[in-house]
Structure 1
């Protein structure tokens, strides 16, 4: 079995954040061109992530049945096509269709990347590699908004989607030449592709459920932050597109550093305690958001900084959580990694999209909406992790922490 090349896997996972982040500075302009509300343009992000999540149930079994390489090639091809469709969309409904297809494409490449890690590396190595993949994902939010903002200023927002299609051509070339099949010979792939029996053993495993919901909680907080930020900063506070890109990039670089430091923290604390630390940072984010909206604080700090500074804690918490939580969720499923990864992605992304979509239907301001999502579910999960009688949901025999 060939080892998967980490740089090649990083190329596969970059497609998803690129489709989310590159057009963020253009969202207010897109809303004006299509004559739609802010919540409607935010739905292009929510629908993309929801499609990416639901699509994983369909594509995950295909990765186990037919292999990782064919699914990767299909995903990159669909990504390029859907990006061109978005670039030429003359009505909002067609743009939404393009985003649904982009979500399906991105979920295919994401499944392949994370399944290949589980295919090729021992369980005690996977948390570190998942953190590195998440670190690569976080490079895009640091760079893409600035690139997207400059492209939009010169050529209009449609150039963002043309860039995505060209990037897909580059990835297709690399995957064709450098990515070999990694599916283990013992992978369970017999029987019907979408029979309930494929999913039941995974959905009845307590660790999988707990850590999937943990990933969903983190993703919901990040999605609210990403979708509300352009509307709040550009429309409400009146900052420029490039200034917004700079603020967003600063937090993204914090996220990158946290992702690459996370393996060391996880090694010292153990998976479970690292997840609990991440949840504590989410709650601290909510508290800081509310404190920084105080008029006294706003007189000292520029409003844009008062909004973005607490998000640094959110980014750090997100970086700390995803590696160990993903590793714990998938640890028991080496024989069906594609399907398990797909279910994890479905719960994480579609659940986060639903939460974010529901919050966007309220009249809450951006700071209050993000604070709400950062506080409620993380607090509940912390309480669960503090209960000894619920240890079978979140504690694992192989998770040896420094505190034990």
Structure 2
């Protein structure tokens, strides 16, 4: 089971690598493509928006044709998109490359979450999702530093050649070692399963947990999208300093995720959802208190941004595993479709929140604080719904 989980993790890593590896090089990409850096920043939420919407299509494909073939198709698309970005001569080509990468990741993400649902249930599934979420934070901890080193040595295009090489390597591992986990009684569909999607969307339980994940992701995506400007432009951090601060937060989420897995065993998933809501609320309060109460000369210090972010992303660690397992639990025979719909709501909803926050006529920290509050409210709704789900506590 450990090797199986690691293979799924290698697929999920394609998404954060596609974001975090090139964060420190955004100014260089903008200069190289003769495009404003604010325009390049929009490729972060657009990447996830495409990833979310694309899962509506990739979900049925995973159930119809199996997990392994769709994973390999996604990896080939990722190679193509990365190579296109590495050779981009202008903004249109770079944007097209990012869209192709988003389409690729929507395939691999559905395969990964369907694979967990195929093999695990209940608290075991929640711990698996929590492990994947925690391990994912190795990427924001290390990828910005790797991206900075590659860019310094070979230019920003080297980051995308690295992504292409990684996808080729993972494709070989998947082809050789990933078992096909699609259950024999999986319900196949023709075309887009609109009726199945509608039946799932009619379930308040599913919506509550899917939107809790969307709120948490929206908070993180807003933080990530605004971080280069807040920390490097306003805070005057160097690319290396930015990578270290950003990476420390990634390790922090990883540690909290390990703690969450232990807490699930003792007190169950509802407690984790409530804790996540409290953490995100606290992060918003600390962030706005710093903006409103501290002197203007302190406002550009990186701690006034990263300390409340660290509190809020701890809430993310408490929310994602339990909410994902609750959302997918009733759909063993529709794991691909349900995973796709949950992923679409999470990614598209989170990306939309990030895009809206970036366009609001308010300061960056105020926009992030608002998204934190919305995420906390959605987590609180999920906690209330979890009270009516039987079997949520693990015996002491």
User: TM-score, normalised to structure 1's length?
Assistant: 0.93
- Report matched runs for 1:84-233 at 5 Å: 84-189=83-188, 191-233=189-231
Alpha-carbon distance in 2 for matches of 1:88, 1:394: 52
Match of 2:28 in 1: 29
Match of 1:53 in 2: 52
CA contact (8 A) 1:278 1:321 kept: yes
Match of 1:339 in 2: 337
Q: Deviations over 1:158-204 (max 9, x none)?
A: 11111100111110111111101110011111x41313222122111
- TM-fit CA distance, 1:124: 3.3
Alpha-carbon distance in 1 for matches of 2:166, 2:12: 13
- Report matched runs for 1:239-258 at 5 Å: 239-258=237-256
Alpha-carbon distance in 1 for matches of 2:2, 2:71: 16
User: TM-score, normalised to structure 2's length?
Assistant: 0.95
Alpha-carbon distance in 1 for matches of 2:289, 2:394: 33
CA RMSD of aligned residues (A): 2.1
Match of 2:358 in 1: 360
Alpha-carbon distance in 1 for matches of 2:296, 2:304: 7
CA contact (8 A) 1:285 1:313 kept: yes
> Which sections of structure 2, spanning at least 5 residues, go unmatched?
none
- TM-fit CA distance, 1:32: 3.1
CA contact (8 A) 1:4 1:182 kept: no
Match of 1:307 in 2: 305
CA contact (8 A) 2:327 2:342 kept: yes
CA contact (8 A) 1:210 1:394 kept: no
CA contact (8 A) 2:273 2:379 kept: no
- TM-fit CA distance, 1:297: 6.5
CA contact (8 A) 1:39 1:360 kept: no
Match of 1:369 in 2: 367
Q: Partner of 2:264: helix, strand, or coil?
A: helix
Alpha-carbon distance in 1 for matches of 2:74, 2:8: 13
Alpha-carbon distance in 2 for matches of 1:300, 1:352: 30
- Report matched runs for 1:264-283 at 5 Å: 264-283=262-281
CA contact (8 A) 2:208 2:381 kept: no
CA contact (8 A) 1:28 1:231 kept: no
Alpha-carbon distance in 1 for matches of 2:336, 2:303: 41
> How many residue pairs end up in the alignment?
396
- TM-fit CA distance, 1:271: 1.4
